[in-house]
Amino acid sequence: MHRPSTLSSRPSALPGGRAAPSTQSATLRLLEKRQEWEAIAALDEATEEIVKSLEQLAAQGNIMADGGRAVASVMNNWPNVLRVISLFAKDSSGSAAVEAKEETAGDGELPRLVRIDANSLAQGN
């Protein structure tokens, strides 16, 4: 018993070597999917570049934040510097020492001050 061949009835094997309409649509769909994949790969690459750029910006932001803390530390010290300058700008009769004690009563800890006579340093060398 021989069965008739089903090869000729398959839509992909039409006489004349032409592909069936469903095969053409599958090929077109495959091409569309390939284009979508290429577009997604390009987006993925662009995303990686953006991530690298943002990481660099974050590092620069951290550097700027550290610099800001240093500037804030200096700015917080200026009132003490100006107070010391005003103490030494007044007459040296002793009234400055009394005023300094009055000013420091509510401030807490003052920075250390050392007064060095520059003339004695110049003569010592």
pLDDT tens by residue, 62-85: 999 999 999 998 899 888 888 888
Per-residue confidence (pLDDT) for residue 48, from 0 to 100: 97
Domain ranges, ordered by start, for the chain: 20-104
Phi, psi at residue 40, to the nearest 5°? Answer: -65, -40
For 96-119, what is each residue's pLDDT tens digit?
Answer: 455 555 555 455 666 666 666 777
Q: Which pLDDT belongs to residue 95? A: 52
DSSP letter, residue 63 = H
Measured between alpha carbons, how far is 34 from 9 in angstroms, rounded to an integer? 30
Q: Is the pTM above the cut of 0.75?
A: no
Q: How confident is the model at residue 50 (pLDDT cuts 50, 70, 90)?
A: very high
The mean pLDDT of the chain is 77
Structure tokens at 70: 């240093």
Place of tokens 């009234």: 95
